[in-house]
Amino acid sequence: MYYLSEQGITEIQEIAFSAIDMLIHTDFHCSKDTREMYLLHARFMLEFFASLNIIPAKLSVMLDDRIYFQVGRMELFSSEHQTLLEQFRNKSSLFSACEFHERISAFETVLRDLGYGTTQLKSSSHILKALYLFLYRYGLDYHPEIAGIWFEEIKKTLGNSWKNWRRILRLFKQYTEEGIVLKGTRYTYKIDILDTFPEWCRIPVKSFMDRLIREFRSHSTARNYKFSCLRFCRFLITNGINGFDKVTIAHIRLFSLTDEHATPYGRATSFAVIRQFLYYLEEQKLLQTGLHQALFSERARSAGITDILGGDQIQRIHEYRHVASTPMELRTAAIVTVGLELGLRASDVVRLKMKDIDWKNRRVSVIQHKTQNALSLPLTTAAGNAVYRYLLKGRPETDSPYVFVHHHAPYDRMSTKICNNSLYCILPERYDVVNKGFYVLRRTFATTLLRNNAGIQMVMDFLGHTDNTSVMKYLSFDEERMRLCPLSLTQYSLLLEGGAE
């Protein structure tokens, strides 16, 4: 009270945020613990005045170092951000600061229902309370863009927790706009490079990506295609082209001669994508017909030795399955066993649902994510036992329809990266192998079928393939049948070491 009177405040009603600012930044000439005690007692006093409706309750909350410096002061923000915040005063917002405060508890209930723990719930409450105090102090309503500007300014005060703050703000944005929080949602925060390109090339590239998605290509594939297309667009812009209708065969030839890649494979892959894009532009009447034929990679299809697991590695997988006991071990064993015994891709393993397993008839039926083709497989004893043990003793309690889920909130579908990590957990030496991923289990599955006298058609059916192109490469591992049809060295005038035929 003495401090306030020195600042010219003579009535309790005159206490405002400015007084809190001065008190927080005052040097009490004492230890940290004593300073915290002073602020704590002052906060109790302000809470008493607030209970009598003499001052706003928000003033007492601000007398806490744990939240004060994370609320932020708009007068200390960059001039650009101050201007943007002032402009929002005259724009439509989602709702007022008071309504924002009322929604915090409902949002926490949603997170609690999704399985978030006490620590995360407390963190969410703290984050949204800090934003509310900022909005209330400066008379602003809630809008996601206001929250984004505020976050960029107070980010430097958050230390290593800034990513958690950013995600909570995005979750709350989704909650306010859609009324729900989707489990397992992944957010992107970087500016999409596509948005930096002129409209004449941005719209066709976006339309091309949408077409890929409609053709059941994955979002990651569409994203990779986008970068190759933008590479071509950037070349056109650099050479003064401002529309696809102005592209000639000379431009395409110059692009093919000057576009550099680290490897021939990278060049061939990129050019194949761009050819598809050019053909799409021709279909849309945006490009002269036939120009896509002017771009070629001059590279033959490559072939390599198919990598599969050895017998000892397969044995180690089954040994791990038998001794797995913790929830994470049971999930690891089930994932790898399903890949080995059923030959499913990682993208299909993580999308495997409860309804896909027919326990009575011992079959697994899925729609393959990559091809969208239906696939029905017999559920082997090893795979069935591994999945059953995981569901019974390892899987968290959740209403998620997926068999394999995260073991931390939100308990929903995993990413394919966890399939790779599960394989490395059992076979750590696979981590250093080129093309080391989960797909080696699918190749091993196909090779095992061939070695067990399965015909080409049966292997195609089990893999869900419509042609035998991908299957033929597995024949090189069927050593027994390869020995039945060797070529004579004499026929080709070849000599063994030492001169013998």
Peptide bond into 410 cis (omega under 30): yes
Rounded to 5 degrees, what angle do the CA atoms 174, 179, 182 make? 55
Q: Which of 219, 198, 196, 199 is nearest to 209 (CA)?
A: 219
Q: Which two three-digit tokens encode residue 222? A: 């569409």
State how far the Cα of 386 lies from the Cα of 380, in Å rounded to an integer: 10
Q: Which of 481, 482, 478, 485 is nearest to 306 (CA)?
A: 478
Q: Identify the pLDDT of residue 202.
A: 92
Q: What is the mean pLDDT of each run of 10 residues along the chain (501 residues)?
A: 83 87 82 86 90 87 85 92 86 79 90 85 92 91 91 91 91 84 67 87 93 83 90 93 92 90 84 93 92 75 71 94 94 95 93 94 91 89 95 91 89 89 92 81 87 77 74 60 66 63 47
Residue linked to tokens 């980010």: 155
Count of other CB atoms within 10 angstroms of residue 378: 13
Please give the C-alpha separations between residue 138 and each of 17, 88, 96, 142, 150, in angstroms, as whole numbers: 10, 12, 12, 11, 12
Q: 462 and 449 in contact (C-beta within 8 Å)?
A: yes
* Ramachandran assignment for 73, one of left (phi > 0), alpha (psi -120 to 50 degrees), beta (any other): beta
Backbone angles phi, psi at 204, to 5 degrees: -60, -40
Q: Identify the pLDDT of residue 496.
A: 65
Q: 364 and 427 in contact (C-beta within 8 Å)?
A: no
Q: Identify the pLDDT of residue 238.
A: 93
Q: Which two three-digit tokens encode residue 474? A: 């597995």
